[in-house]
């Protein structure tokens, strides 16, 4: 990573994110993973890979991750911290796959919550989806800044797209059909929406235009982009440098 590394770190932290205290009513991460098998009518582990009890790395990583979700947290800072503490989970293919399979099962269980619990479920699922994306991009790039940058557009769409986007993410990644009906219903009922970073209003996603510098922030019209520019300038600069690095190393094809 070029000299933009430090700056990108600060700026990404400030970006609007999924940061919110997540309500988890399960006592341990393993209960959360196995929750589905205990829920009425669902006898499925959603493809979660059984974690070897001898693997302390994964257990510590998952425990710290779930504990952080219960507090005020910021996802990119949390992932940076976890990378420093548990590098093997990021660097070892088997460990990373086990962790992401756990996270997929957790998110799926959250989306399968009862209707009155659905808001919390979707919030949890969004955070899990973004964490999975960051881990997947790390496998590809070996660089945390690049991973955060590459995960951002989908993270943005999931954050702003409601239940439909979360259902899409998880139903496409799990090996079972547990979310198929819910996703089909959401697709027919909910439009593909996105948020303008200027006026903060929600629009049909296809009508939004993305900033040509960072390709992350999107706007409903030029006025909104112009008004947002003083706030966005710094982020745009750091993100554009991340983007240039990703293009140089072939992680983004232009």
Report if residue 211 touches Zn ion, rule: CB under 5 A: yes
Residue 182 C-beta: closest distance to Zn ion, Å? 12
Tell me how long the chain is: 254
Q: Is 79 helix (H, G, I), strand (E, B) or coil?
A: helix
Which of 48, 69, 82, 236 touches Zn ion by CB under 5 A? 236
Report if residue 214 touches Zn ion, rule: CB under 5 A: yes
Report if residue 167 touches Zn ion, rule: CB under 5 A: no
Between β-strands 209-210 and 202-204, what pairing exists: parallel, antiparallel or unpaired? unpaired
Q: In 3D, which of 27, 17, 36, 22 has the Cα closest to residue 174?
A: 36
Q: Which residue is listed with tokens 């819910």?
A: 182
Report if residue 208 touches Zn ion, rule: CB under 5 A: no
Q: Which stretch binds Zn ion (CB under 5 A): 39-47, 58-66, 82-90, 158-166?
A: 39-47
Report if residue 78 touches Zn ion, rule: CB under 5 A: no
Residue 235 C-beta: closest distance to Zn ion, Å? 7
Report if residue 224 touches Zn ion, rule: CB under 5 A: yes
Q: In 3D, which of 70, 65, 75 has the Cα closest to residue 155?
A: 75
Number of residues that bind Zn ion (CB under 5 A): 14
Q: Which stretch binds Zn ion (CB under 5 A): 12-20, 44-52, 146-154, 244-252?
A: 44-52
The sign of the CA dihedral 240, 249, 194, 107 is: negative
List the interface residues with Zn ion, window 1-20 (CB under 5 A): none
Q: Which is nearer to Zn ion, 137 or 173 (CB)?
A: 173
Q: Which stretch binds Zn ion (CB under 5 A): 20-28, 71-79, 130-138, 207-215?
A: 207-215
Supply the angle between the helices 93-111 and 144-173 in degrees, to the nearest 10: 50
Report if residue 148 touches Zn ion, rule: CB under 5 A: no
Q: Which is nearer to Zn ion, 21 or 181 (CB)?
A: 181
First CA to last CA distance, the chain:
19
Report if residue 213 touches Zn ion, rule: CB under 5 A: yes
Q: Which is nearer to Zn ion, 20 or 221 (CB)?
A: 221
CA dist 96 and 93 (Å) reads 5
Report if residue 199 touches Zn ion, rule: CB under 5 A: yes
Q: Which is nearer to Zn ion, 162 or 194 (CB)?
A: 194
Between β-strands 209-210 and 218-219, what pairing exists: parallel, antiparallel or unpaired? antiparallel
CA dist 66 and 26 (Å) reads 10
- The overall longest dimension of the chain from CA atoms, in Å, is 57
Q: In 3D, which of 143, 104, 145, 97 has the Cα closest to residue 127?
A: 104
Q: In 3D, which of 75, 94, 89 has the Cα closest to residue 22?
A: 75
Residue 56 C-beta: closest distance to Zn ion, Å? 28
List residues binding Zn ion (CB under 5 A): 44, 46, 176, 178, 196, 198-199, 211, 213-214, 217, 220, 224, 236
């Amino acid at each position: 990573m070029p000299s933009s590394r430090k700056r990108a770190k600060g700026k990404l932290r400030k970006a609007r994110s999924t940061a919110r205290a997540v309500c988890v009513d399960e006592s341990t991460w393993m209960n959360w993973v196995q929750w589905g098998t205990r829920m009425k009518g669902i006898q499925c582990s959603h493809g979660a890979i059984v974690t070897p009890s001898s693997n302390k790395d994964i257990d510590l990583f998952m425990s710290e991750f779930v504990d952080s979700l219960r507090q005020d947290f910021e996802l990119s800072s949390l992932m940076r911290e976890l990378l420093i503490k548990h590098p093997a989970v990021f660097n070892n293919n088997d460990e990373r796959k086990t962790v992401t399979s756990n996270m997929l099962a957790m998110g799926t269980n959250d989306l399968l919550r009862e209707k009155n619990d659905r808001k919390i479920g979707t919030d949890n699922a969004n955070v899990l989806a973004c964490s999975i994306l960051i881990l997947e991009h790390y496998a590809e790039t070996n660089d945390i800044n690049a991973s955060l940058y590459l995960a951002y557009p989908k993270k943005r769409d999931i954050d702003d797209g409601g239940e439909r986007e979360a259902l899409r993410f998880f139903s496409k990644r799990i090996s079972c059909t547990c979310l198929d009906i819910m996703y089909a219903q959401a697709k027919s009922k909910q439009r593909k929406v996105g948020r303008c970073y200027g006026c903060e209003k929600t629009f049909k996603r296809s009508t939004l235009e993305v900033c040509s510098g960072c390709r992350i922030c999107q706007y409903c019209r030029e006025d909104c982009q112009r008004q947002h520019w003083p706030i966005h300038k710094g982020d745009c600069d750091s993100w554009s440098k991340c983007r240039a690095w990703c293009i140089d190393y072939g992680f983004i094809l232009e």
